Copies of this chain bind each other. A is one copy, B any other.
Amino acid sequence: MELIDVFKALSNETRLNILQWLKEPEKHFPKQGAHLPKEVSIKGGVCVGDIQEKAKASQSTVSHYLNMMQKAGLLESVRYGQWTYYRRNEDFIRQLAEYFQTEI
């Protein structure tokens, strides 16, 4: 785990927002999963376009953010057709919170 990359990923308002939106995807992305079948949408993945729209940043910026957050371990992605769905990596985040409590 590259702890510093995690903290860097969290050092930005928009990225922090994205992480929190993805805690409750159905709440923050009402039209979520208009495309794909349940077995994907049910897991709380949201596609880049939907995230971009809400984040109000350019497509390339949001794509970059999501990639960065995934590399840090905070997110995971599933590609489904032409869409890439991102969701929180809850296991990692749970571990992280534990680590934070004991080691920071």
Contacts and interface: CB of A to CB of B under 8 A. Distances in A.
A13 to B, nearest CB: 6
A8 interface: yes
Interface residues of A, number: 18
Contacts of A12: 4
| Number of copies of this kind of chain in the complex | 2
Contacts of A3: 16
Interface stretch (A41-49, A61-69, A96-104): A96-104
Contact of A104 (B11, B97, B101, B103): B97
Interface in A33-87: none
Contacts of A101: 97, 100-101
A44 to B, nearest CB: 16
A92 to B, nearest CB: 11
Interface of A: 3-4, 7-8, 10-13, 16, 19-20, 93, 96-97, 100-101, 103-104
